[in-house]
Amino acid sequence: MSLFDGYGNRISTSFHEARDHYDLGVHQFLGANHGACEAFLASVTADPDFALGHAAQARAHMMEGRMTEAKAAIAQAEALAPKADSRERSHIAAFSLVLAGHPGAACAAIRAHVQAHPRDALAAQMCTNVFGLIGFSGEVGREAELLAYTEALLPHYGDDWWMMSMHALSLCETGQIAASQSLMDKALALNPRNANGAHFRAHAQYEAGETSAGRRYLSGWIADYDDRAVLHGHLSWHIALWALHDGDEAAMWAAVDSRVGPGGAKGLPINVLTDTAAILYRAEIAGFAVEPARWQQISDYAARYFPEAGQSFAEMHAALSHAMAGDGDRLARIAETAKGFAGDLVRPVARAWGEIARENWPAALESLSQVMATTERFGGSRAQRDLVELAYVNVLMKLGLVEEARRTLLSRRPVLAKAPPVLGLH
Ligand SMILES: [Fe+2]
């Protein structure tokens, strides 16, 4: 007897218990909630031969930063794959490419896979979101590519909260804020506990300049969100960022210390590093004093968790941390050897951070200017890349070019020009 998952895909298990736990895991995983790993474990405990259950568990392990366990689980899935059907084998093979360190091939495999199996949500998910395979492709125009990807899938999903939230995210990141907010409200009405939905509802509010309303909304939403879940630290960063924009320094540091930075956050190292480095430097740009020990701490964290070159978005923030901590050796390694998906941009931005730390503003402007045309290639969201936008504006300010700074912000990030979070630009 064949069973089908919650999205109508045939699955190679005849155990209802395995199917039910798998569906629960998919629900938790797609909503960025805690509990997916436990659910997938229960699924493969009920049916140890369920290959896709093992692959799903590998996904959940990876999402929680346990790469050794993820590789063991995908090896189990690969061993059992001959018992699975062609969709499941294709799904497992695509994720194997991710874990083997071949994101480009994985992205191509997923794009082909969803042509045949558009409702294989767990597979489709790999190319969605700003941290997905398209988001981290390093390609010019990847935001438009993400929009085209979710737009093509959306009609296959009917009133599905997850796909609606993913398309709303794509709309937000291409500047279609009202359409994003409208679709995200529908998605959140169907599943109010979808953290991806709350996350990009907050992004839309950020893009609309709704600081007070956004701060209120997200602070309320996160109160019921498990602090072990993958987005807890990053949503706390959004709250801290809005506190910064509001001039509420005490609330900003409270959030950074308890939920964003090393020691406080339980999230993925890439979020801990990038969110902490970004808020520290954005605080400096806004005129708040940042203790040197904070930079030393995040520099040490970056060196520990990202010792190898490769993840450009992380490296861009690691270089900032090393520069501000005054660690020339760590900085030089990135500035000279970065070779990830946007390595050619990481090298000049790393040099710029070093020049900024030395207050060599003309040289900083020269280096930073080299990356401004295509910052989307770094990956991440627009709100995250405002780190680079604000750094550029701040360099202009340091050079006494106040009018140029004002015009730059107005032309590149008009939402921030209303109340610039830059000292001296109000
Ligand atoms: Fe975000």
The model's pLDDT over 256-301, given as tens digits with 9 standing for 90+, comes to 999 999 988 888 999 999 999 999 999 999 999 999 999 999 999 9
pLDDT band for 369, please (50, 70, 90 cuts): very high
**Res 367: pLDDT:** 98
**Contact call for residues 371 and 388 (beta carbons, < 8 A):** yes
pLDDT band for 381, please (50, 70, 90 cuts): very high
Give the whole-angstrom CA distance, residue 66 versus residue 59.
10
**Contact call for residues 52 and 80 (beta carbons, < 8 A):** no
What is the Cβ-side half-sphere exposure of residue 12, based on CA atoms within 13 angstroms?
A: 21
C-alpha distance from residue 291 to each of 82, 281, 297, 399 (Å): 56, 11, 10, 24
CA of 381 to the centre of ligand 1 (A): 6
pLDDT digits (tens, 9 = 90+) for 57-85: 999 999 998 999 999 999 999 999 999 99
CA of 383 to the centre of ligand 1 (A): 7
- Looking at CATH, the fold of the domain delimited by 3-127 is given as 1.25.40
CA 161 from centroid of its chain's CA atoms: 19
> Is the whole model's pTM more than 0.95, yes or no?
yes
Looking at residues 189-215, what average pLDDT do you find? 98
**Res 266: pLDDT:** 83
Tokens of 141: 């125009």
pLDDT for 110 beyond 80:
yes
**Res 142: pLDDT:** 98
Q: Which residues surround ligand 1, an ion (CB under 5 A)?
A: 381
Closest CA to 122 of 38, 3, 36, 190: 36
CA of 2 to the centre of ligand 1 (A): 40
CA of 200 to the centre of ligand 1 (A): 7
